[in-house]
Amino acid sequence: MAETVSSAQPTVELRRAGLAYGGRQLWQNMDLTVAPGEFVAVLGPNGSGKTSLVKGLLGLTLLSSGSVQVCGAPPRRGSSDIGYIPQQKSFDRDLPIRGIDLVRLGLDGHRWGIGLPSRRRRRRVEEAIASVGATRFARSPIGSLSGGEQQRLRIAQALVGDPQLLLCDEPLLSLDLKHQREVVEQIDAQRRTSDISVLFVTHEINPIMAVVDRVLYLVGTRWAVGTPAEIFTSAKLSELYQTDVEVLEAGGRIVVVGAPDSQHAEAGSSHYHHPLGQEVIVR
């Protein structure tokens, strides 16, 4: 579980970190650093603590052991150093708020109401919207937009405050392949342009494989961190799952055979849903 530490001050630093929830240990003794501009994917079965890790970095959940720093300081709620993209859920079609209003909340959502932005705020909002290619529909009611258009505006909202860290919690859920690709391209372009660190929680590695630098994989209380080539091996995943796992590559996509996700198992069946999004067969 050793990892290489960058000489630059890390955007995220966890040392011997542990997190328990409801009396159950999610993970423990985790050491992780995320360097500026690095893209780290977070994978694992349901209930392994992926979203809880994001909440810990947002200052919404306290570690049960160890330490964590974000941009050189303990996590705190509402930090302007962090941009957050939540799970993709469609807005109500009757919601009167426009896309530009949603993005503006990324700058002054802590205020009572949206209010009238200053010229500088207006410019930053417009620049964030333009950076994700959303200018054309930004003044439309948010509920009238497609899932991909809504998610572009969520990315703009997360980026408008000029964060150093972008936390993405399953941002590709419910999106078709075309919109998944567009969202990934937008996030990757922003991190390359602005040297933003990205922590990307997902059940499916394949849509982001081309842009990922390292993978943090959580299973039970165990974890491993490394490059995709280091993590997606039969030996490493067998060690994490403590059962025989086979990793195959088919048509440029990773397929994992043998890793059960008990929360998705059907009674009396040997077929399971794997966190990479592939149907797998336990041999």
The alpha carbon dihedral of 43, 166, 108, 123 has a sign of negative
**CA–CA separation, 252 and 43 (whole Å):** 19
| Count of Cβ atoms closer than 10 Å to residue 32 Cβ | 22
Question: In the chain, which segments carry CATH 3.40.50.300?
Answer: 12-231
Distances (CA, A) of 268 to 219, 243, 265, 271, 272: 23, 19, 9, 9, 11
Of 49, 59, 104, the residue nearest 82 (C-alpha): 59
Phi, psi for residue 190 in degrees, rounded to 5:
-65, -40
Print pLDDT tens along the chain (283 aa): 444 444 578 999 999 999 998 889 999 999 999 999 999 999 999 889 999 999 999 999 999 999 999 999 999 988 889 999 988 777 888 888 999 999 998 886 544 445 445 888 889 999 999 988 899 999 999 999 988 899 899 999 999 988 999 999 998 887 888 888 888 998 999 899 999 999 999 988 889 999 999 999 999 899 999 999 999 999 999 999 999 988 888 777 888 877 665 333 322 223 333 444 443 322 2
The CATH class given to the 12-231 domain equals alpha beta
Cβ neighbourhood burial of 7 (10 Å; 0-12, 13-18, 19+): exposed
